[in-house]
């Protein structure tokens, strides 16, 4: 099997991104339905890229799958690249995020059946307090600014008793949906990738699991509050453009990603900071 190096892609300016993906999509347009070449999969680096690299290095060749992993540091490019045919699949998101992305962007990306791989418990981190209840009145908490993860962060704060949301507040809840805020907490909305760097400027931050791990923060050890994996709707899965679910290469990867070998890899490497969802 060809040993293709991982490609790490930084967040690009919107105009340049659109131009680049359009050009690449045009190059591939004539053979977009070809399933004979390598399967190219977009992922955020941690843990998705690491899990895919484990599959590539240890399982893919035996299964007759040629796999290429391309890493991105944002939550938009992996979907636009798959939608435009630049990449075959992605692995970085949960269902509420994908539903919101499709609705806002007119895309038709779908989860691959049976390929929900892991959960990254969302956590609250602080350099100043050990418990959420120790936050001072008027303290500032940083939140991810994408729709579903902001709502998820607010629900985590509600579950820990520091705020109360309005009845019926769903996956698109914002600070405007807070019904009770006894400590008059303030909220700073930031791009998810910036949250670890904000810890020195705020009293606490609710950080996505992948970005916490990249910043050497452990949801299992360092978070002052974290989601429970039980009944959690935020499992991360393999996704493709609608119509590609039956691609034999996609089915092979889905099977490998939910194999006992991958479950053990997740358990051994992440020690509870990432939890297998199968």
Q: What is the mean pLDDT of each run of 10 residues along the chain (278 residues)?
A: 36 36 41 75 96 98 98 96 98 95 97 96 95 96 93 96 96 96 98 96 94 89 90 93 98 98 96 90
pLDDT of residue 43: 98
pLDDT of residue 26: 39
pLDDT of residue 29: 41
pLDDT of residue 33: 52
pLDDT of residue 210: 85
DSSP H helices, the chain, are 14-28, 50-55, 77-83, 95-105, 147-159, 209-214, 248-257, 260-270
Under DSSP, is residue 86 helix (H, G, I), strand (E, B) or coil? coil
CA distance 24 to 28: 6
- Identify the H or E element spanning 205: strand 204-207
pLDDT of residue 182: 97
pLDDT of residue 209: 87
CA distance 111 to 245: 8
CA distance 135 to 142: 13
pLDDT of residue 9: 36
The predicted-structure confidence for 85-129, as pLDDT tens digits, reads as follows: 999 999 999 999 999 999 999 999 999 999 999 998 899 999 999
């Amino acid at each position: 099997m060809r040993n293709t190096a991982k490609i790490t892609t930084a967040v690009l300016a919107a105009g340049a991104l659109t131009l680049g993906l359009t050009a690449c999509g045009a190059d591939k347009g004539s053979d977009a339905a070809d399933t004979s070449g390598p399967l190219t999969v977009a992922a955020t680096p941690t843990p998705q890229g690491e899990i895919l690299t484990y599959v590539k290095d240890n399982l893919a060749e035996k299964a007759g799958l040629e796999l290429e992993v391309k890493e991105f540091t944002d939550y938009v490019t992996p979907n636009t690249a798959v939608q435009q045919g630049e990449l075959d699949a992605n692995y970085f998101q949960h269902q509420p995020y994908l539903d919101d992305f499709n609705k806002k962007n007119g895309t038709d990306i779908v989860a691959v059946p049976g390929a929900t791989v892991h959960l990254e418990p969302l956590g609250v981190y602080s350099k100043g307090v050990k418990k959420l209840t120790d936050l001072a009145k008027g303290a500032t908490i940083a939140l991810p600014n994408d729709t579903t993860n902001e709502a998820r962060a607010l629900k985590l704060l509600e579950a820990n008793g520091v705020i109360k949301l309005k009845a019926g507040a769903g996956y698109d809840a914002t600070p405007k949906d807070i019904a009770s805020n006894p400590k008059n907490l303030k909220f700073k909305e930031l791009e998810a990738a910036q949250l670890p760097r904000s810890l020195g400027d705020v009293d606490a931050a609710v950080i996505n699991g992948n970005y916490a791990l990249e910043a050497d923060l452990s949801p299992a050890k360092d978070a002052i509050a974290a989601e429970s994996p039980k009944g959690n709707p935020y499992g991360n899965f393999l996704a493709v453009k609608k119509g590609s679910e039956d691609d034999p290469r996609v089915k092979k990867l889905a099977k490998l990603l939910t194999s006992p070998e991958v479950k053990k890899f997740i358990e051994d490497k992440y020690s509870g900071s990432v939890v297998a969802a199968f």
